[in-house]
Structures are given as C-alpha cells and as structure tokens.
Amino acid sequence: MSPQPPYVIGIDSGTQSLRSGIFDLEGNPVVFATYEYPTYFPKPGWAEQEAADWWTATVATVRACLERSGVNPADIIGISVDGTSSTVVPVTEDGTPLRRAILWMDSRAHRQVETIAASRHPVLKYVGGQDAVEWMVPKALWLKESEPEVYHKAARIVESTDWLTWKLSGKWTASVCNATCKWNYVQSEGGWNAEFLSAVGLDDILAKWPQRVLFMGDQVGRLTPAAAAELGLPGGIAVGQSGIDAHAAMFGLNVVRPGRLALIIGSSTVHLALSSEPVYDPGIWGPYPEAVVRGAWLIEGGQVSSGSVISWLRENFAYREECEAKEQGKNVFELLDAKAAALPPGAEGLVMLDYFQGNRTPLRDPLARGMIWGLSLKHGLAHLLRAAYEGTAFGTRHILDTFAASNFHVQEIYACGGGTKSQLWLKIHADVSGVPIYLTKVGEASTLGTAVCAAVAAGAYRNVEEAAGKMVTITDRIEPDPEAHAAYEFFYRQYVAGYPRMKELMHELVHHVEGA
C-alpha cells in the first residue's frame, strides 16, 4: 500500500550526516534526504562540529524531501528532530554558538570525570557509579575550567537536540531522555540535584540549562514562521520532543518492552534495553528511570568506535580496492565483504580491540586505545576488515555478558544503522553473541523513531508505545550458527584478556602525548 496523508517528518541528526524522512502514520516512508557535514579533530581524543552545519543540513534535507516527493506541505502535521547524545554547544540567549560544539565522542574531559567520581554523590548510583567522559556534566565542567570566558558568556549550554528543537520551535527545552542518560537528571527525585552540581563545581549550571524537561513525544510547541519559511513548510505544525538519536531508534525498532535489545550500529554502537526493575552494575550505564518510556528502567551499553573504525580502514587503506570496485561497478564494501567472508572466524589469527576513542562500557575507560595483534605478512586488508567486524562484535558480546552477570538476559536483538548494510557484519554479531537478530522494514530506525515522536506530538497516537506498534514492521531474522559461535570463543577470550594486559601501556602513551 502506498503512503497516504497525513504525514510527519522525522529528522535524524547523526555524527557524519543529517537525514530527514517523510512518513505516513503507518510508518511507510515516502522519501529520505541526507546531507553530510565535517567533523574536526584539533587534538588527539578531541572531536568538534559547527552547529550551523546541522541547521544547513536540516533546511537542505527537508526541502529536498518536499521537492522529490511532491507531498503537499499542508498534509504534514508534525515534525521532530533527534541528535547525537552529549554533543555540547554553548550559545547566547538568541542561539548563537560561542564555539564549535564538542562532539559526543570527544574524550578531553577525562580529568573532570575523575573529579565528579571523587564526589561519591548518591546520584551517581543511577549511572553505574561515575559519569562517562562523553557526557554533559564533565564537558560543562571542562568548559568552565578550560574556557571560562566562553562558559560565563554562555546563556545556554545545551545539546545538539536542544539547539535544533529551538531552531524549529523558538523554545528552549531539554529531553528527559538526554537529561536522564547524560545530565544526571533523576525524574523520581525531582530532576537535577543542586547539591551534586555544587559539589563538582557547577553550582551555576542550572541557570544555563533549559527549565522545561519533556518526555519524548511531548509537544514542544509549534513550528515558528521563520523556521517554516526556511523549510518550506506551513507555520504552526506540531513540533515534537525527541531525544538521543540511538534512543529514538528504540521506537523505530519497536523496542518498547523488556527482553528486547536495540542494537544501533553506526559510527558508534549503542545497546539499549528496557527493564521492569533497576539493574545496578558499574559496567552498565544506568539504570535510567523513565528515560524513554514512562514506568520502565533503561539500561545501556555502548562502544565509542565501531562504524568509525570501518570508515578509518576504508579511508586509509582501501585505495586499491576502491579502484577495483569502481572497475567492477561495485561498492567497495561489497568487494571487501566478499573477501572477508571467505576467511574463517578469527581472521586467520588477528584480534582487534575497538577502543580507538576509548571504551564506554563495560570498562568505562576514556584512555583505552585501539589495538590489532597477531599480524603477519599473510594478512591483508580483508583480514583487517574481518578482524574489525569481529572486534566490534566481541565488544557487543562483552556488554551482553555484563548484562547477564546482573541477571538481565537479552533474548532478541533488533538492529539498525549503517552497519546493517553489511550482511557479513550482522552475521558475525549473531554468531558471536549467540542471539537472533531481527531487521525491520525501515532501516533508518532513528529517523522513523523521531517521526513516531512527531506523530504522538501531533495527536495521532496516545503515546510512543502505541505509535511504535503501529509504525514498525519486522522483515527478517538472522539466526546464530552454533558452530561459528563455538569457534569464536577462543578469540573472544583473547579480546577480553587484551585490555587488562595493555591498560598500563595505553594510559602511559596517552598521558605522554597529552604532555607533549
């Protein structure tokens, strides 16, 4: 059945690009448009973007969707935007950025993480005992200590989601998703803990954060005339609150009840699950009360570098294969995956640690770094690619094992993101984890999930659970191979053992480079 009006727009502001999509209320996609923007790496471990690029991308993609689809703008009833989590930007009251945004993957605030952990404040029990280097509070503290003139001039210190939502609606809000998962906000305890913020040196930060904290799917307000004119849309349509891009994908995958895990494989990989009970473990992010769905606890794992490692391999080592693929009229990864698939589990003796920008969970070490060992002159790019696929899958297995150690067992994985384009990578994930992986009709689950928020904000559904149930369709299931799962056990043990043996050398190297 072809899509029918009315329509909603979901906007997914990711790490490497922004994607907009128009959907009907059954979740059928009408059209997508994508716009890429650069990331800047001024120092090792640092990563920044220009906020203006996000809005340029928003305008370009929404207009492209309208032009390509022929959809009548009057038939669009809602719009919403997600963003990368903990991408922090200080701005003036009128939204003018005061510096480049500090991207989620930036690990400069590791000393601030130590300061925050030293407070031993009770609120940290909701985040496994300490904040991660990527999060809002460490980055805000870094700004205050390292760039005090920017910090004090900033009327607002917000995330990319908040800034883009303000551009649409003219209203400053925070998503309960971002605030709970990354800003030490606890809904059940009254929100932010002023005593905690004061203890870590951010007694003045509350004045810089939005005071309205909304659930995903709540209506922020209406599209402003100025934004409508730029986007080519009618003014006054509902603007829905979304949240973190990966967490919006939970709605786009219909992961809205316990037992299911959302696996979002992009530049990073995120593992998200809902629990009816809190799960406390230092190797797990959370438990986050009501961060995504009212009445449920969110638990989270994550790998900082996954798709970004694959991109690194291509950009730096695949020139010959790029030329070969071009001659054959193929995508370079189609060629590389075929070669990597011919290799056995273990890539003929290679193991890769995927900690290129540190480790989120379960190690929680921003100073961890990537490694490849077992190299010989036999190994080529296909071996390195397979080792990278396996290393990132081992990282996922390590996280699932940490969940299981706290008596939370994942029975089904629902996957999305750019990584799902590789059938080999998905099969390796299934074989390594021993858990079946499901795919959905709309692979762009974050974009669809944000459209779910727009549909709820527009009044088309009562809540995000109902909307997700109506707008998501399962299309495929990848079963794990027991023989391959057994073959991976040795290499998985090598992966887990590698970090503790190299941790001291990794840290010494990072500190030496920083000192230089």
Q: Token pair for residue 100? A: 């480049």
Per-residue model confidence as pLDDT tens digits over 410-438: 999 999 988 999 999 999 999 999 999 99
Tell me if 356 is assigned to some domain.
Answer: yes
Tell me if 75 is assigned to some domain.
Answer: no
Kindly calculate the radius of gyration of the chain based on its CA atoms and give it in whole angstroms: 22
Sign of the CA dihedral running 235, 237, 238, 243: negative
Q: What pLDDT shows up at residue 257?
A: 87
Q: What pLDDT shows up at residue 127?
A: 87
Query: Per-10-residue mean pLDDT for the chain, 516 residues long?
Result: 92 95 98 97 94 98 98 98 96 97 94 96 91 95 98 98 98 97 93 97 97 97 98 97 95 93 93 94 90 93 95 96 94 95 98 95 94 98 98 98 95 94 97 98 95 98 97 97 98 98 97 86
Number of structural domains, the chain? 1
SS3 147: coil
Tell me if 397 is assigned to some domain.
Answer: yes
Q: What pLDDT shows up at residue 377?
A: 98
Q: What pLDDT shows up at residue 1?
A: 66
Q: What pLDDT shows up at residue 129?
A: 87
Q: What pLDDT shows up at residue 259?
A: 84
Domain hosting residue 496, numbered range: 302-440+477-515
* Helix H or strand E encompassing 384: helix 381-405
**Taking every pair of C-alpha atoms in the chain, what is the biggest distance, in angstroms?**
63
CA dihedral 172, 176, 177, 180 (to 10 degrees): 120
Tell me if 452 is assigned to some domain.
Answer: no
Tell me if 410 is assigned to some domain.
Answer: yes
Sign of the CA dihedral running 389, 266, 401, 410: negative
Backbone angles phi, psi at 284, to 5 degrees: -125, 140
d(CA 136, CA 178): 9
Tell me if 422 is assigned to some domain.
Answer: yes
Alpha helices in 419-478 (DSSP H): 423-433, 445-457, 464-471
Tell me if 432 is assigned to some domain.
Answer: yes
CB 173 within 8 A of CB 212: yes
Q: What pLDDT shows up at residue 267?
A: 87
d(CA 374, CA 355): 17
Alpha helices in 79-209 (DSSP H): 110-118, 136-146, 148-153, 160-169, 176-182, 194-199
Q: What strands lie across the sheet with 437-440, from one edge to the other? A: 285-289, 297-303, 269-275, 260-265, 412-416, 437-440, 474-478
Q: Token pair for residue 119? A: 């407070």
Tell me if 114 is assigned to some domain.
Answer: no
CATH number at residue 339: 3.30.420.40
Per-residue model confidence as pLDDT tens digits over 27-68: 999 999 999 999 999 998 899 999 999 999 999 999 999 999
d(CA 82, CA 161): 5
Name the pTM for this structure.
Answer: 0.88
For residue 29, cis peptide bond before it (omega within 30 degrees of 0): no
3-state secondary structure 149-185: HHHHHCCEEEEHHHHHHHHHHCCCEEEHHHHHHHCCC
**Residues ≥6 apart with Cβ < 8 Å to 439:** 414, 415, 416, 420, 426, 474, 475, 476, 477, 478
